[in-house]
Amino acid sequence: MRIETIDECSMVDELAALKAQLAPLLEREEALKDYFKQAGKERYIGTSHEAVIIPATRYIADTEKLKDHFGLTDKTWKASQWVKQSDSFSCKVTARKLAR
């Protein structure tokens, strides 16, 4: 999507407005997915769409215990064969407190 040339101030306000519009939709999405998960079926059929529940188990490594076990420092840990690095970013949007 092409972004028209507008001032950054307007872009920040637009981003905040979009996030505000999305919030109730994302909340509803989570509620629907939770319902399907709790209902216990694997597949739900709608008029135009279907939803399939795909269970998964996520494993999270305790990096502090691994570093201790292998005797690694933060620097050697990051350079070790077990760590992959990727760049990412987030954008926090908050309301400004305007002076009166």
What is the pLDDT, as a whole number, of residue 95?
Answer: 81
- Quick check: 58 pLDDT over 80? yes
Give the H or E element holding residue 45: strand 43-45
Q: Which pTM was predicted? A: 0.64
Classify 66 as helix, strand or coil.
Answer: helix
What is the pLDDT, as a whole number, of residue 4?
Answer: 64
- Quick check: 18 pLDDT over 80? yes
Q: How many CB atoms lie within 10 A of CB 28?
A: 10
CA distance 63 to 98: 42
What is the pLDDT, as a whole number, of residue 5?
Answer: 62
Helices (H), 1-100: 8-39, 63-70, 74-78
- Quick check: 1 pLDDT over 70? no
- Show me where the domains of the chain are located: 1-53, 57-84
